[in-house]
Amino acid sequence: MPEQPELTVQGWGPGAPPAAPGQGATDPGAVLPRAARRHLTEQLGWTPRATPPVAVDDIRLAPSRLPDDVRTELAALLGEEHVRTDRASRLRRAGGKSYLDLLRRRGGDASDAPDAVAWPAGTGETAALLALCAERGVVVVPFGGGTSVVGGLSGVDPDDRPSLAVDLSRMASVADVDVASSLVTAGAGVRGPALEAALAGRGLTLGHLPQSWEFATVGGYAATRSAGQASTGVGRFDDLVAGLTLATPSGVLELSSPPASAAGPDLLGLALGSEGTLGVITEVRLRVRPLPQATAYEGWSFRTWAEGLAGLQRLARHDLLPDVVRLSDPDETRANLLSATGTGARLLRGALRARGRGGGCLLVVGWEGLAPLVRARRDAAVPVLREHGAVRLGRQVGESWRRHRYAAPYLRDRLLDAGLLVETLETAATWTALPTVYDAVRRALCESLGAPGKQPLVMSHVSHGYATGASLYVTVLADRDDDLPLQQWLTAKRAATDALLAAGGTLTHHHAVGADHRPWLEREVGPLGVEVLRAVKQRLDPRGVCNPGVLLPD
């Protein structure tokens, strides 16, 4: 039914599931270059070992609990072929792609799978579906690309009602291209590549490029307030939304106010980040821009993390940040150097050696737009970088990063096959608080995951810059506890979240709250803030069927 390729059940990438047990690489450590493997075995106390997923056919899936009469009514609404309870449809929509999701699916557990999947074709069908589900007590979990990394699709319901995944893939058109106003309307199920292809034909681009770009959808971006790799330049996804349509059990909200409006509080802001708790976003009106005439990507190297942060802060203060900014700390820089293979890696190593830098902190920057502006912005930023001790590594380093920027999730699957814990977390803080948050998260993760002879590898980068601060993205590798793998990460994640909040970071800069972060939401918005959100939900979703397991604390 959906024309776009579906994500594999137990990992990343389209279509076929990962190799069945016994069919993977004979040497599990061979997924990494020798130097990287040596580094990881020494630091992590990791013994490369085969830990393949169970065969997809062996994943346990309970029978569907959707009552027959509800299924019949849904089929009458949407058409027989657009309501399914078969194993493959339900498994494909079981949870998202966090480390915990992958551990569960790899271990044969799909207890979070929906009882059925529905494919409405537009706002009218979605609104009717929501009204029916509210009346019949069926939980609705909107399903975009299925790339949530915070348990956004877990479908947890305190009342344990049957659940329906609402797949948005039939709403994937791009319409109303208004070139003069730089506006376009996209169906919520459109993914990045299809949207960019449609826009390119009109000389336009959205420029929202998260690492999950190949699979994530426009509706999912809006529901989670996503940020792409060029967000420093083009803005977060919230900045790119000029309006949207939200179907709720109480009716349809059309929220649109371009170019700007002062007509009361911003209701659009309530829908952005609502994570399916208020209803289903069916259409999004987007602010687009002309395709860039020129691009300039390049690599730089700072001696230290502190110098790098100071350099970026200075650029930010003078509104000189490039469109793409990605500053890696020494651990991430070293790991890049050790694990990268091919021309890009050779270039990076060569460029660093030539400038007398063994490691330091790698900075990738990119400018896009009209050629004179790209030149002028770059010319203004370069002296600031140099003043803070940065040396230029050249264009090929930047272009190499750009070419490989979607590769990491594929590598993660292979590392999971070899007995590693691999997960990421993110936050943001003011320039003042950022160094403290950085230290606090690292300390918490090292204490939680460390043991005699075992230290996790905690790698960080700054990748979204603002005048007031920046995001911090952390990747963790550790030797997996084969007996209690879920517990191992849950404990570490709890420690890291407590630490980053205490140090002044936000609960999430772009991954959203989901099920995983909701115990902490009250610390971020306060008890009254939670009450306000509950009151809005009560008005739009009085029976509480819209994604009840996410965002709001118990």
Work out how close the CB of 510 gets to ligand FAD at its nearest, in angstroms, rounded to a whole number. Answer: 4
Cβ proximity to ligand FAD, 209 vs 337, nearer residue:
209
- The span from the CA of 49 to the CA of 28, in Å, is 6
Work out how close the CB of 275 gets to ligand FAD at its nearest, in angstroms, rounded to a whole number. Answer: 4
- The span from the CA of 93 to the CA of 38, in Å, is 38
Is 275 annotated as ligand-binding? yes
Residue 402: what residue type?
R
Q: Are 337 and 390 in contact (CB under 8 A)?
A: no
- The span from the CA of 324 to the CA of 318, in Å, is 16
Q: Are 472 and 510 in contact (CB under 8 A)?
A: no
Q: Is 473 a catalytic residue?
A: yes
Is 279 annotated as ligand-binding? yes
Work out how close the CB of 215 gets to ligand FAD at its nearest, in angstroms, rounded to a whole number. Answer: 6
What residues contact residue 31 under an 8 Å CB cut-off, 6+ apart?
25, 411, 414, 415, 417, 418
Half-sphere exposure of 438 (CA within 13 A, CB side): 23
Is 142 annotated as ligand-binding? yes
Cβ proximity to ligand FAD, 212 vs 460, nearer residue:
212
Cβ proximity to ligand FAD, 120 vs 360, nearer residue:
120
Is 277 annotated as ligand-binding? yes
Residues at the site binding ligand FAD, with contacts judged by CB under 6 A:
12, 96-97, 141-149, 152-153, 168, 188, 210-212, 216-217, 219-221, 223-224, 226-227, 275-276, 280-281, 409, 510-512, 547, 550
Q: Are 412 and 480 in contact (CB under 8 A)?
A: no
Work out how close the CB of 34 gets to ligand FAD at its nearest, in angstroms, rounded to a whole number. Answer: 26
Q: Is 260 exposed, middle or buried (0-12, 13-18, 19+ CB in 10 A)?
A: exposed
Work out how close the CB of 461 gets to ligand FAD at its nearest, in angstroms, rounded to a whole number. Answer: 12
- The span from the CA of 329 to the CA of 475, in Å, is 11
Cβ-count burial 347-386 (b if 16+ within 10 Å, e if not): bbeebbeeeebeebbbbbbbbbbeeeebeebbeebbebbe
Is 207 annotated as ligand-binding? no
Residue 163: what residue type?
S
Cβ proximity to ligand FAD, 382 vs 411, nearer residue:
411
Work out how close the CB of 100 gets to ligand FAD at its nearest, in angstroms, rounded to a whole number. Answer: 12
Q: Are 226 and 510 in contact (CB under 8 A)?
A: yes
Cβ proximity to ligand FAD, 480 vs 510, nearer residue:
510
Catalytic residue among 99, 297, 438, 473: 473
Is 250 annotated as ligand-binding? no
Count of other CB atoms within 10 angstroms of residue 302: 26
Is 432 annotated as ligand-binding? no
Cβ proximity to ligand FAD, 470 vs 512, nearer residue:
512
What residues form DSSP beta bridges with 479? 420
Is 419 annotated as ligand-binding? no
Q: Which residue is nearest to ligand FAD (CB)?
A: 220
Strands 361-369 vs 324-328: parallel, antiparallel or unpaired: antiparallel
The annotated binding site for FAD is made up of 142-148, 275-281
Q: Which residues carry a binding-site annotation?
A: 142-148, 275-281, 412
The annotation places the binding site for substrate at 412
Catalytic residues: 473
